[in-house]
A and B are shown apart, each in its own frame.
Chain A
Amino acid sequence: MRGGDDAGGLGGPDTREPDELYEKLRAYEGQAAAVGGRGKDPVNEPMIRHWCEAMGDTHAAYTGPEAVAPPTMLQVWTMGGLSGHSGRSEAYDELFALLDDAGYASVVATDCEQEYARPLRPGEEITFDAVIESVSERKTTKLGTGYFVTTRMDVRADGEPAGTHRFRILKYVPARRRVKGAGALGSASPAPAPAPAPAAGVAGPGAPERSRRPRPVINRDNAGFWEGVARHRLLIQRCGSCARLRFPWLPGCNACGSPDWDTVEASGEGTVFSYVVMHHPPFPAFAAPDRATDTAGPYAVVLVELAEGVRIISQVVGVEHDRVRIGMPVRLEFQRVDEDLELPLFRPLAPDGGPGGGPGGGPDGGPDAAPAGVVGRACGGSGRGGR
Chain B
Amino acid sequence: MSTASAPRAGDTLPPLEIPVTRTLIVAGAIASRDYQDVHHDVELAKAKGSPDIFMNILTTNGLVGRYLTDCFGPGATLRKVAIRLGAPNYPGDTMTLTGTVEQVEQGAVGAEGAAEGGTATVTVNVVGANSIGKHVTGTVTLTVPAGPVRTAGAGAGGDA
A interface residue numbers (CB < 8 A to B): 1-3, 47, 50-51, 53-61, 70-73, 75-76, 79-82, 106-119, 143-144, 174-175, 177, 220, 251-252, 259
Most chain B CB inside 10 Å of its own CB: which residue of A56, A82, A107: A56
User: Which 10 A-B residue pairs are closest in the complex by CB-CB distance?
Assistant: A174-B49, A72-B65, A79-B33, A109-B57, A54-B31, A113-B82, A54-B27, A118-B113, A57-B66, A60-B74
Please state if A51 and B62 are interface contacts (CB–CB under 8 Å): yes
B79 at the interface (CB under 8 A from A): yes
Which residues on B are within 8 Å of A, measured CB to CB? 18, 24, 27-28, 30-36, 38, 43, 46-51, 56-59, 61-66, 69-70, 74, 76-85, 90, 112-113, 131-133
Residues of B within 8 A of A111 (CB): 82-85
In angstroms, how far is the closest chain B Cβ from the Cβ of A81?
5
Q: B54: nearest residue on chain A (CB-CB)?
A: A108
**Smallest CB–CB gap between B62 and chain A, Å?**
4
Pair B69/A57 contact, Cβ less than 8 Å? yes
Nearest chain B residue, comparing its CB with the CB of A162: B113
B59 & A3 in contact (Cβ 8 Å cutoff): no
A116 touching B85 in the complex, CB below 8 Å, given contacts A56-B66, A70-B65, A144-B49: no
Contact A76 B58 (CB under 8 A): yes
A selection of 27 A-B contacts at a CB cut-off of 8 Å is A55-B62, A55-B66, A56-B66, A57-B70, A59-B69, A59-B74, A71-B65, A71-B78, A71-B81, A72-B58, A72-B62, A72-B64, A73-B32, A76-B58, A79-B32, A81-B33, A106-B48, A112-B58, A113-B81, A114-B80, A115-B80, A116-B78, A118-B113, A174-B49, A220-B43, A251-B46, A251-B47
Interface residues of chain B: helix, strand, loop or mixed (majority): mixed
Q: A117 to B112, Cβ gap below 8 A?
A: yes
Interface centre among B59, B66, B82, B133 (most CB of A within 10 A): B66
- Interface-central residue, B32, B49, B58, B65, by most chain A CB under 10 Å: B49
Interface-centre pick from A71, A107, A174, A220 (highest chain B CB count, 10 A)? A71
Distance, CA A114 to CA B56, complexed state (A)? 16
Cα A76 to Cα B51 in complex, Å, equals 26
Q: Are B51 and A2 in contact (CB under 8 A)?
A: yes
Q: A112-B57, A117-B112 are in contact. Are A61 and B81 (CB under 8 A)?
A: no
Give Cα A50 to B48, complex, Å. Answer: 29
Which among B43, B63, B82 is the interface contact of A112 at CB below 8 angstroms? B82
Q: When the two chains form their complex, are residues A110 and B84 in contact, meaning their CB atoms are under 8 A apart?
A: yes
Q: How far is the CB of A287 from chain B (nearest CB, A)?
A: 37
Q: Specify which chain B residues have a CB less than 8 angstroms from the CB of A1 in the assembled complex.
A: 49-51
Taking a contact as CB atoms under 8 Å apart, the answer to whether B80 and A118 are in contact is no
Cα A143 to Cα B18 with chains together (Å): 24
Contacts of A118 in B (CB 8 A): 112-113
13 more CB-based (< 8 A) A-B contacts, given A2-B90, A71-B81: A55-B63, A55-B66, A57-B69, A59-B69, A72-B78, A76-B31, A79-B32, A80-B33, A106-B49, A117-B112, A143-B49, A144-B49, A174-B48
Q: Which residues of B contact A114 (CB under 8 A)?
A: 61, 80-82
Q: Tell me if A73 and B84 are in contact (CB < 8 A).
A: no
Distance A79 CA – B34 CA, assembled complex (angstroms): 7
Chain A residues with CB below 8 A from B132, complex form: 2-3
Q: Is the CB of B50 within 8 A of A75?
A: no
| Cβ-defined contact, A55 with B57, below 8 A | no
Query: A165: shortest Cβ distance to chain B, in Å?
Result: 10
Q: Is the CB of A115 within 8 A of B74?
A: no
Instruction: Tell me, in angstroms, the Cα distance from A242 to B133 when the chains sit together.
Output: 37
User: Of A81, A112, A144, which one neighbours B83 at CB under 8 angstroms?
Assistant: A112
Residues of chain B with a CB closer than 8 A to A251's CB: 46-47, 49
A2: chain B residues at CB < 8 Å are 51, 90, 132
Contact among A112, A175, A177 with B61 in the assembled complex (CB-CB below 8 Å): A112
Inter-chain contacts of B28 with A (CB < 8 A): 54-55
Considering the chains assembled together, what is the distance between the CA atoms of A75 and B56 in angstroms? 12
Instruction: Please give, as numbers and ranges, the residues of chain B lying within 8 Å of A81 by CB-CB distance.
Output: 33, 35
Q: How far is the CA of A110 from the CA of B62 in the complex (A)?
A: 15
* A128 CB to nearest chain B CB (Å): 14
Partner of B31, one of A53, A116, A119, A175: A53
Asked if residues B65 and A57 are in contact (CB atoms below 8 Å), the reply is yes
Q: Which of A54, A61, A106, A174 contacts B62 (CB 8 A)?
A: A54
A76 touches B63 (CB 8 A): no
Q: A55-B28, A114-B61 are in contact. Are A259 and B47 (CB under 8 A)?
A: yes
